Amino acid sequence: MNNLLLSANVVLPLFLLMVTGYALRHWGILDEKTLKQMNKATFKAFLPCLIYYNVYTSEISEIFDKKLVIFSVISILILFAVLMLTIPFAEKDNRKKGVMIQGIFRSNFVIFGIPLSAALYGDSIVGSAAVLIAVVVPVFNFLAVISLEVFRKGKPDIVKILKGIATNPLIISSILGLITLFTGFKLPGIIEKSVSDLAKIATPLALVILGGSINFSKIKGNGRQLAVCVASRLVIVPAVFLSISALLGFRNAEMAILISVFASPTAVSSFTMAQQMDGDDELAGQIVVFGTSLCIITVFLWIFLFKQLGIM
């Protein structure tokens, strides 16, 4: 019963924030234009402040887990390779192939990683999640662009990919956080307080925006592809990689972070990227909508399962 309550206490607050966003959109308090602007502000200002502050205030010996980073990156690369080989056999439409691949391998680790980790084990492991974000986000972006470019019948533009990675606010903030952490540089008290206050806004606002972006009226037509992607993202991928994680000895806080990597729904940004790169943006949006809605159940069950098994 304790594990059941703990799992519920971790997931339900995230769910309620998303419901709040959905309700505000439904009541007309938030509209699509406002949500896009808020999302832009969160991505370029609040989330970078959160990531920077959590790295900046961490102990380096505690936040860098070499084994965790290597396992996460290798697992993502293997998953991507498997999908690049198998999805083309399961789907004929080129515009859907790249979207399905990124819909399965690309998780919303940025939004779910920090709040899930902190809810389970406190702020002490947020730095570790932030450092992993600094590594995993560019990997996700790089592979997503490749998958969409390949099936757009274009050649991947390496310069464009590298530029996108180098200018990503989340990556920049992680690197700046690491620089100040390694050098021992301390921000002036006034600036540190301001960054701290901005960081507190990031997670709840991001989840409210995510909820407000859900639009069930646009669900139509892609039943088979949608089922494959959502089931793979929320059930099959975590079943495989979290089982391997457990066998390799990952436990407690490490497992909480890995649940955020492998069991969270498809990244919201995958819709924007599909739209910009001639992928099937309707399917991409549906994958995000259903995955985000259903993850409330699946993430809860994964946390409960590993708690019951004594792995977390």
153 in Cβ contact with 31 (< 8 Å) = no
pTM across the whole model: 0.78
Domain 35-202+223-308 maps to which CATH number in 1.20.1530, 1.10.3470, 1.10.10, 3.30.70?
A: 1.20.1530
217 pLDDT tier (thresholds 50, 70, 90): low
Count of residues making up the chain = 312
Distance between the two ends of the chain, CA-based, in angstroms?
Answer: 15
pLDDT averaged over every residue in the chain: 83
**Cα-Cα-Cα-Cα dihedral sign, residues 200, 201, 202, 203:** positive
In 3D space, the residue among 259, 285, 233 whose CA is nearest the CA of residue 83 turns out to be: 233
Parse the chain into domains and list their residue ranges. 35-202+223-308
107 in Cβ contact with 264 (< 8 Å) = yes
CA distance 125 to 55: 10
In 3D space, the residue among 170, 134, 131 whose CA is nearest the CA of residue 49 turns out to be: 170
CA distance 21 to 213: 8
What's the DSSP call for residue 289? H
Say yes or no to pLDDT of 102 above 60.
yes
- pLDDT for 156: 58
CA distance 209 to 205: 6
- The model's pLDDT over 145-169, given as tens digits with 9 standing for 90+, comes to 888 888 876 555 677 667 766 777 8
CA distance 148 to 155: 10
